[in-house]
Structure 1
Amino acid sequence: MGNRLQPLTKEQINIIHNAAMRILGETGVAFKLPEAIEIFKEHGFKIDGSTVFFEESQVLKALGTVPSEFTIMARNPDKSVRLGGDHYAFGPAWAAPFVIDADGTRRNASLADQENMCRLVQTSDHVDFAAGSMAVPAEFTPREAATRMLHAAITMTDMPLISNPCARENGIEIVEMAEIVWGKKVTELAHPVSIVSVNPLSPLSYSDDTLEGLIEFARNGQALLISSMVLAGISGPISIAGTAALEIAESLAGITLAQLINPGVPCVCGGTSCASDMRTGGVSLGGPESLQLTAIAVQMAEHYGLPCRYGGNLTDAYSVNAQAGIESALLMAAPIISGAHFIHQSCGILGAYAAVSLEKFVIDEEVCGMIKRAVAPLEITDTSINTDLIKRVGPCGSYLIQPETAAKCRTAFFPANLTCRGTYDDWAAKNRGDMVARAAEYVKKRIESYNKPEIDPDVERDLNAYVEKKYNN
């Protein structure tokens, strides 16, 4: 029996592709930055004011220069990440202005929260990226907050980076800081050192600040996560198929621009599109429509030979509750099972991107670990099956006392930290199933156990001076 999550036939893939090409060729995409319009003009694209029209041949030529796999370098080379093909990775919560504490209280995020998120990321066995923007501190101006968040991510972790939001100043800043860390210009490095989230403004437009960022990051060879968030029924058609076609059209338009700027710059397509809450006009991340859109996007990316982004431990809930668990687990498992390569927002998000929770981070992290274990290839050999052992134990015997069991009993199965298994008495002893209380204790333990990764003292001194020069003159 095949995959049941919206498997597309070749005919259906062609239908969605042809619809996307008609959207790009007949409706076009508005690029609200003259610099971007000039780039398209230089390459012979049809322009009407700020609207660019794409011929199918132009799109396919651009897609032909996108690498199907690429590496993002970490400060610690052992933690560099490869995306595409059989390689996938998890990123943490990103760009949340609020924090929701264990008791459900919502408050403005602070730099201390960003730093604690860095500690959790660095001590994680399952998250693959740090981010320059996890909890956005309210005590600084947006510009200073961006600098200080990126500084924290670089100095407090040694992992590959998800950049601050896509804006020219953020593109310049990560290039300047990377030059301090690596001692050479990013364009001279073998791989990008960051990936930036580039979000179209649905329907069918790109804002000027996003385009300025896209141009800056692309020129410097940094990876681009060009993903759309279409709200079916509000910023896109109310049909899921129509929303999927609009989403892929918006992503392909941005990828085309990136390849015109710098052919071969790594790009990831996809999105986080979802149904709208037609009662309030808000998002409905947790519905089954998100899973349908995930499956379609991954198959379309495969059709184009592109790495794909979708999903995350996402929820509409504003506390760590049953709704958050149901929605997050579904939205996390679906993209991995479908074959997505980059799972943004994998740990810590509440309230449809609006808030981060440290307790939910560690709960989500356990889900990430379970999924990684579930999809890891099993050893299926005569040795691993071991029919000799099965014969030795025989009918009605016990495997518990066998030496093979003793040799692997501590490593064979997933080591759950927070999910409660075992007897009723064990459950009662662990706060009677209060996972949030256990998570709060675990967060405290993780933060206390954090050890700052090694960094060259001269590099750290220069990074500190970079920040101080900007904001303490």
Structure 2
Amino acid sequence: MRPDKPHRRRRAADIVQMPWQQLVNPLPPTPLISEDEVEAIHRAALQLLETVGVRCAFGEARALLAHAGASVDEADQRIRIGRDIVEEALKTVRAEIRLTPRNPERAVRLGGRHLTTAAVLGPPNCTDLVRGRRSGSLADLGELLKLTQAFNIVQMNGWPVEPLDVEVRFRHLAATRAMLTLTDKVPYVFCQSRQRIEDVLTMCAIARGETLEEFGDRPGVFSIINTNTPLTYDVPMTVGVMDMARHGQPVLLTPFIMAGASTPATIAGAMALNTAEVLFGVVLSQLVRPGAPVLYGCAAMNVDMKTGAPAYGLADMQRCTLIGGQMARRYRMPMRSSNFSSANIPDFASGYESANACFAAAAAGAHLLMHAAGWVEGGLCTSYEKFVLDCEIVQSLAQTLVPPRIDADTLALTEIAEVGPGGHFFGTPRTISTFETAFYRPLVSATQNYGAWLEAGGKSAAERATAIWQEALNHYAEPDIDPSTVEALDAFVARRTEQGGAPLD
């Protein structure tokens, strides 16, 4: 939908937001380094895989790679992969992926010029200005899933807070049921055990009215694989790569890169390790199922050399993002980036760090913006206010990426001539008829002068965001779902609960 397309007038209580749409990035990706330097990182990654190798704790993966011709040292679980194996695997990776949730109208594309967003994922805590900071609960998860559904600019689910009041072996069942009933957007799968993956994929298949086998023919979920940099794949992450590939579902291969801590204190060394660990996952996934969907994940950053803390959302992370985009294009893989911030509260720093991260992702040509809404405390907490403020940032980015229409009508030469020198356009027919739709209307930002702002309560952006998330929850509408589907989900949850759930590996 173009921003100048007429639509109904909004009521004063309505939350101002853009319509649901697949975002398109028309900007040419920004290369930060030369093509020769891209190749230097590629060759370095291949050398690391060939000579240093990757320690992989999962015996089934070691056996599979040994069968493919890799050198496996069982004594220290080290796998060395030749570049011929890597190049063969890269032949079958997919340049574009379509994910279809239970509501096909919420399908998204990852690849090409498309940009998709997903909510914050994984924090154990949450906070808001009304109730304060707390450990995550199933009730909090439900509220944050409702916000995910309510805001159109958040296009896929994350796992916005851990429901710590639910026992671990049953947590995935309760959380997935909430995700599938409170939203109709693409669900997320945590790869923490083989049984847990199968349970969640089965529930997602039920939601689409399919068997697990049928579900594998049409991707409909996603998961993140975080390697243990440097050069280590643990059991849950390796199982995640293999089982998601086996079921035809995409993984975001994302090394845990902190330059100066988990990598050398250079951007080049960090990106060489990032690339090597991604390529190891690519090989593993393609050996399990050629054509299995994978993304080049880049969440690389430096550490603060004084404190050792990750420098989320700061300048060197943006440099890694731009280089990550170049590496992903080198391999014809969709790219995952992130809306990261180091800030502990939704303040000015959180805003500029997130804005920098989001615009760097667009400049890099990223196809998926993870943690698009809600991230604070370096990912240890989800903020309700930051969720709304991030929606403003990402909506602004989305609007920026829409080319304006340039034609005889929009050039408006007749209108300019009628007003003439020294006039104004406040009262022209066009201005009156399009005053709500001509330009971007902010979700949170205030354009009032100081006096009007003071009369309206003198609230900060975070305080205004509080009113918006409260409004969103008050007017939340549960998406349509067939009652028989809910019954089938409940029956599955009850059966798996009776069977003991799924302990973590």
Q: Please indicate, yes or no, whether the TM-score normalized by the shorter chain is above 0.5.
A: yes
Q: Of 23, 41, 51, which residue of structure 1 is paired with 2:66?
A: 41
Aligned counterparts, 1:123-134, within 5 A: 123-131=150-158, 133-134=159-160
Tell me which amino acid in the other structure corresponds to 1:11. Answer: D
Match of 2:352 in 1: 326
Is 5-14 or 433-442 further displaced after alignment?
Answer: 5-14
Q: Of 243, 248, 252, which residue of structure 2 is paired with 1:225?
A: 252
1:209-240 CA-partner distances (Å, limit 9, x unpaired): 11112211110001111111211011001001
Match of 1:85 in 2: 112
Residue 117 (str. 1) matches residue 163 (str. 2): no
What's the % identity of the aligned pairs?
28
Contact 2:31 2:326 in 1 (8 A): no
Residue 258 (str. 1) matches residue 285 (str. 2): yes
Aligned residue for 2:229, secondary structure, equals: coil
Q: Using the alignment, how far apart are the partners of 2:209 and 2:199 within structure 1? A: 15
Return 5+ residue gaps in structure 1 as ranges: none
Is 420-429 or 345-354 further displaced after alignment?
Answer: 420-429
How far did 1:384 drift?
A: 2.5
How far did 1:9 drift?
A: 1.5
Residue 304 (str. 1) matches residue 331 (str. 2): yes
How far did 1:329 drift?
A: 1.3
The 1:47–1:430 alpha-carbon spacing in structure 2 relative to 1, beyond 3 Å, is farther
Aligned residue for 2:302, secondary structure, equals: strand
Q: Using the alignment, how far apart are the partners of 1:110 and 1:416 within structure 2? A: 31
The 1:470–1:185 alpha-carbon spacing in structure 2 relative to 1, beyond 3 Å, is closer
Residue 143 (str. 1) matches residue 152 (str. 2): no
The 1:461–1:5 alpha-carbon spacing in structure 2 relative to 1, beyond 3 Å, is same
Match of 2:390 in 1: 364
Contact 2:221 2:250 in 1 (8 A): yes
Q: Of 179, 185, 201, which residue of structure 1 is paired with 2:211?
A: 185
Q: Using the alignment, how far apart are the partners of 1:4 and 1:154 within structure 2? A: 35
The 1:66–1:180 alpha-carbon spacing in structure 2 relative to 1, beyond 3 Å, is same
Q: Using the alignment, how far apart are the partners of 1:47 and 1:95 within structure 2? A: 33
How far did 1:5 drift?
A: 6.2
Match of 2:20 in 1: none
Tell me which amino acid in the other structure corresponds to 2:179. Answer: A
Residue 239 (str. 1) matches residue 242 (str. 2): no
Residue 214 (str. 1) matches residue 236 (str. 2): no
How far did 1:104 drift?
A: 8.7
Contact 1:217 1:223 in 2 (8 A): yes
Residue 26 (str. 1) matches residue 51 (str. 2): yes
Contact 2:122 2:161 in 1 (8 A): yes
Tell me which amino acid in the other structure corresponds to 2:369. Answer: I
Contact 2:31 2:364 in 1 (8 A): no
Q: Using the alignment, how far apart are the partners of 1:140 and 1:161 within structure 2? A: 19
Aligned residue for 1:400, secondary structure, equals: coil
The 1:281–1:379 alpha-carbon spacing in structure 2 relative to 1, beyond 3 Å, is same
Aligned residue for 2:378, secondary structure, equals: coil
Is 278-287 or 363-372 further displaced after alignment?
Answer: 278-287
Q: Using the alignment, how far apart are the partners of 1:290 and 1:127 within structure 2? A: 22
Is 423-432 or 106-115 further displaced after alignment?
Answer: 423-432
1:285-338 CA-partner distances (Å, limit 9, x unpaired): 1321100000000011011111001121x2222211122112111112210122
Is 368-377 or 271-280 further displaced after alignment?
Answer: 271-280
Q: Using the alignment, how far apart are the partners of 2:452 and 2:498 within structure 1? A: 54
Contact 2:322 2:363 in 1 (8 A): no
Match of 1:454 in 2: 480
Match of 2:182 in 1: 156
Match of 1:196 in 2: 223
Q: TM-score, normalised by structure 2?
A: 0.89
Match of 1:390 in 2: 416
Tell me the matched-pair count.
470
How far did 1:269 drift?
A: 0.7
Aligned residue for 1:163, secondary structure, equals: coil
Aligned counterparts, 1:87-106, within 5 A: 87-102=114-129, 105-106=132-133
Contact 1:362 1:439 in 2 (8 A): yes
1:78-111 CA-partner distances (Å, limit 9, x unpaired): 1111110011100001011011221694210000
Aligned counterparts, 1:410-425, within 5 A: 410-425=436-451
Is 87-96 or 180-189 further displaced after alignment?
Answer: 180-189
Aligned residue for 1:71, secondary structure, equals: strand
The 1:402–1:202 alpha-carbon spacing in structure 2 relative to 1, beyond 3 Å, is same
Match of 1:9 in 2: 34
Contact 1:308 1:340 in 2 (8 A): yes
Q: CA RMSD of the aligned region, Å?
A: 1.9
The 1:384–1:217 alpha-carbon spacing in structure 2 relative to 1, beyond 3 Å, is same
How far did 1:150 drift?
A: 1.1
Q: Of 91, 108, 124, which residue of structure 2 is paired with 1:64?
A: 91
The 1:68–1:399 alpha-carbon spacing in structure 2 relative to 1, beyond 3 Å, is same
How far did 1:442 drift?
A: 1.2
Aligned counterparts, 1:276-291, within 5 A: 276-291=303-318
Return 5+ residue gaps in structure 2 as ranges: 1-26, 500-505
Aligned residue for 1:432, secondary structure, equals: coil
Aligned residue for 2:121, secondary structure, equals: coil
The 1:4–1:181 alpha-carbon spacing in structure 2 relative to 1, beyond 3 Å, is closer
